[in-house]
Structure 1
Amino acid sequence: MRIEIWADVVCAWAYIGKRRLERALPGRSGTEVVWRPFRIDPTAPARAVPLEEALRDPLMDEALRACAPGLSPARNRARISRVAAREGLGPPWGSRWRVSSHGAHRLIALAYEHGGPSVQGAVAEGVMRANFVEGLDIGDRAVLGEVAAAAGFPLGAELLDGEAGEVLVRELLLRGKARGVRTSPTIVVGGRALAGAQPPEAIADFLRGGERERPVPAEVERMRWAESLMDQRDPLGALVMLRPLLEEFGEDRGVRLLAARACFASAQLNRARAALESLVGEFPGDLCVRRLYGRALERQGRDEEARPHLRLAAAADG
């Protein structure tokens, strides 16, 4: 069974959730734990800012209050510290920096690609320990390099110096969005998700249900992700998901139509029109294709060409 943890390494609950998952796992053989990226603070700077300084920003304060309704940021941080202590984390405890977690996510994703789940788990542990226990700046490449080396992934520092993992992490973030991940951490097994750092007993109950999941073909899963992103009004993200399918299944009607829809929704009208023109020629009776083709022509100011397609689709509706 594969367990995916979608989490942000700057989220204290992710580290707490890791400890609780570890307590829920003993005795389970054949289980693979994979870490996936999530962003709780997409606007965090690439260069670290002392957290105490960042907390004086009214917008940051407002965002933190929204995360824990009814508690001030200071009281919420004290509460999390107590919970972390019960899980054996700290003291000391608490991040000292506000910084983008993008580099850390790259390192964690690359650790899985090059070393598998055990190396990745060691890197994820090292990154969160550096952030929450040692108070280090995990936006610093030198810090991440030391974490990687200590976790048995010495290649990590060299990979981070280049562009390795950039495309991978950005696609993984889109996958999480497509799958409906909204909370750090979220445990996903197959098509089921458990949000938040739940108690070990709740995690164990959730995992028992995962053993009955049937695997879905990769191409079907990717198509579903693309459709989900379209439903969330992210056509550019949908096109990223569709790129491998267009390369491998470029003649498939459903793939081509979804790509055309995404092009239309992202105002790539020339691409949309060309794709739809081809589909209309091959499937003249598909009124959904005709309607979208007519709309693409219409938005390009080609009303005379659009009119017969729109009329045919409207007549069928009527």
Structure 2
Amino acid sequence: MGISVIKPGLLSTVQDLGRWGFQRYGVPVSGAMDRLALRLGNIILGNDEADAAIECTWTGPSLRFDREQLIAITGTNLFPKLNGEEIAMWKPIYVPKDGVLSFGKAEDNGCRAYICFYGGLDVPLVLGSRATYMNGKMGGVNGQALVKGNQISFLKSLQSGQSVFNWSMDCSLYPNLASRRIRIMAGPHTDRLEGESLSDLFSQTFEISNASDRMGYRLNSKALALRDKRELLSSGVTYGTIQLPADGQPIILMADHGTTGGYPIIGHVASVDLPLLAQLKPGEQIRFEEISMQQAQHLLLEQEQEINRLKQGVKLKYES
């Protein structure tokens, strides 16, 4: 076996990097909200970046390990403990057979942590992914959040000589979760905003509504107005698309977003800031900063270069 769920936590789901290639059939990509945290956790363990892990929200689960394993915990600090003793994040951790992993709850910054396991978790592949899409009851464990009594197998057994690691990852790759600045690019309908609303988009503060979830973050602010209110044909959307419905309160589409939408698109969150956005909680406030497509691409390229250097360094550690 692998792990047994003693307590599920508030919202714990099996996630990977998503279900790609099926949006034309109306199937959302889904996957981890904070894809960077999941990727880094898998890299720390020498896994494929897309291996399935557990995404924890606000409070983590309690898990009993039915066999020894290596894990890495990334994302925000939910104060993990192994057999009642605090353990470090951002490094490989050896868990013995019958070990119990438990967590506290999110405090100041961030709300999602990721438990990655050596070799990943063995849940069924659905359309090429193990990611949980709860609205469609697809993937993960029975298409839903973890519940008490769930048992999940590991895809790989721990090999001899892999139980002791005395290094941790430099977290400079990961965003500062205290930041509330989200960089965005103009969308195809940004120019439909009235002059004052266009200024407000980049000058006012937006609060994340309690109605926010994995599908989208609804924002509360001074309402934005369109000067051109013609109806639009539905068009493709993606993670980070910023829509403006009739009430003037923007919606940022998140990991479980639908595949098309008919609301005006007034911006797109730069990919490098999606991890920060994914860690924000209802009630927190953000501000938008406009950048160009070229700037966003440059920032993403720099990040990917750093990730590749990390992968090479980790590979050497596992080979030594």
Could you tell me the TM-score, scaled by structure 1's length? 0.26
TM-score, L = length of structure 2:
0.26
Higher relative contact order (CA 8 A, sep 6+): 2
**Which structure is larger by alpha-carbon Rg, 1 or 2?**
1
Q: Which has the higher strand share?
A: 2
Q: Which has the higher helix share?
A: 1
